[in-house]
Amino acid sequence: MGLEDDLNGMFAESVHELSPPVGEMVAEGKRAGRRRLRTRRMLQAAGAAAVAAAVVTAVAVAVPRPDGARVAGPSSGGTAQPPTAGASAAGPATASPSTGKGAAGAEPGKGAVSPGTSPAAEPGTADLTWQAMTKILSDLLPPGARLGNLNPFGVKFNTKPDERYVELEYDDGHGASTVMLTVSRGRAPSPVTCENWHGGSDEGTRKPGYEKPLCKTEDLPDGGRVRMFVTGTDMVGLYDEMVELTRPDGVTVQVVAANATLDQYTGQKGVPITVTRDRPPLGLDGWKALVQSPRWQLRVPQSVVDAGRAFAKTVSRFPCPDDVKPADCRID
């Protein structure tokens, strides 16, 4: 899959973060495998700066709505639909009862992103939290969205002063998908372009129903830029859809969604990945609409933080792995 080429290309943008605590890295040796699983996925997708920081750690220890309209989100292509009411996430980690057909009865890999709300309605007075991210994500996902198996270790490891991260499973009724969502500011421009991207090579079997590898960029009217990727498969058949929005205000919103789940690490032999579906949920157009929501801000209203804290209690979590210090999973 050209992983070595990707690593070489990524170090250029990770040097500025090359100051990890050596003692802590050595102590985290047993955790390198889990980090590498996530690092490989992100390298395949785009090799963004935040991911490259994880690469540095892994290598060291491995000797880790836009406009308020509901938008159709097929895996390729899609058209905007008339504005409709947003999805409510009042129930336990679900936007509405499951229909058995996925989001709003949609086919696998398709869905409609619910409208965002204007951030101008209430001033941002509090820092964005992972709990608030989970609530916003639930609000924006199509009706029937079920969120669970949040990874506290992943949240703890990837949260930084100017970066917020959440990793959990999203089930639209057609199989769960591990979703990684990042909101950050000041991220260095990635040197990866569609011309030098090597993330489209397959290590495992690409089934007939899988999407083809893809890389494309789009410059937006407001000066922002969107990068979209469909990666190659790994050895068990996992691949990702990845959409990253870089806004003129310096904020980057990135989402990576798989056709599989990254399962709880047990220490047993085998790769802790379960392929659950042919295509990730929503599709590139759906994820593109989601990252463009104005609700993704690093400073949010206190009411959003409060609502997130309440909603997060309804989202199930993976237990802290046996080989991890309890403090490394403490995120509340």
8 and 155 in a single domain? The answer is: no
DSSP 317: B
103 and 126 in a single domain? The answer is: yes
Residue 20 covered by a domain:
yes
- pLDDT band with cut points at 50, 70 and 90 for residue 106: low
Q: Distance between CA 99 and CA 101 in Å, rounded?
A: 5
158 and 291 in a single domain? The answer is: yes
153 and 78 in a single domain? The answer is: yes
Closest to 68 in 3D by CA, of 22, 99, 24, 114: 114
Residue 330 covered by a domain:
no
148 and 58 in a single domain? The answer is: no
3-state secondary structure of 79: coil
- The pTM (predicted TM-score) of the whole model is 0.71
Mean pLDDT calculated for residue range 73-90 = 34
Amino acid type, 25 = M
Lowest mean pLDDT among 2-6, 72-76, 217-221: 72-76
Q: Where are the alpha helices (DSSP H) in 141-294?
A: 152-158, 283-291
Residue 94, strand partner residues:
91, 146
Which pLDDT score, from 0 to 100, does residue 324 have? 82
Which pLDDT score, from 0 to 100, does residue 53 have? 36
3-state secondary structure of 152: helix
* Pairwise pLDDT comparison (181 vs 91), residue with the higher score: 181
Task: Kindly report, residue by residue over 177-210, the tens digit of the pLDDT.
Answer: 999 999 999 888 888 889 999 888 999 989 999 9
81 and 43 in a single domain? The answer is: no
Task: Kindly report, residue by residue over 317-332, the tens digit of the pLDDT.
Answer: 999 887 788 999 999 8
DSSP 97: -
Which pLDDT score, from 0 to 100, does residue 38 have? 52
Identify the domain containing residue 50 by its residue range.
3-64
Please say if the pLDDT value at position 215 is more than 50: yes
Lowest mean pLDDT among 37-41, 136-140, 149-153: 37-41
54 and 99 in a single domain? The answer is: no
Q: Which two tokens stand for residue 296?
A: 């993704």
326 burial level (CB within 10 Å; 0-12, 13-18, 19+)? exposed
Which pLDDT score, from 0 to 100, does residue 43 have? 47
Mean pLDDT calculated for residue range 118-141 = 87
Residue 319 covered by a domain:
no
Residue 322 covered by a domain:
no
3-state secondary structure of 142: coil
3-state secondary structure of 34: helix
Please say if the pLDDT value at position 6 is more than 90: no
35 and 79 in a single domain? The answer is: no
Residue 266 covered by a domain:
yes
186 and 163 in a single domain? The answer is: yes
Residue 149 covered by a domain:
yes
Please say if the pLDDT value at position 262 is more than 50: yes
Please say if the pLDDT value at position 104 is more than 50: no
How many structural domains are present in the chain? Answer: 2
Amino acid type, 227 = R
Q: Distance between CA 3 and CA 65 in Å, rounded?
A: 34
238 and 163 in a single domain? The answer is: yes
3-state secondary structure of 105: helix
pLDDT exceeding 70 applies to what percent of the chain? Answer: 62
Which pLDDT score, from 0 to 100, does residue 93 have? 53
Q: Distance between CA 64 and CA 176 in Å, rounded?
A: 23
37 and 162 in a single domain? The answer is: no
Residue 257 covered by a domain:
yes
Which pLDDT score, from 0 to 100, does residue 54 have? 39
Mean pLDDT (the chain, rounded): 74
Residue 229 covered by a domain:
yes
59 and 158 in a single domain? The answer is: no
pLDDT exceeding 90 applies to what percent of the chain? Answer: 51
Task: Kindly report, residue by residue over 143-185, the tens digit of the pLDDT.
Answer: 988 999 999 999 999 999 999 999 999 999 999 999 999 999 9
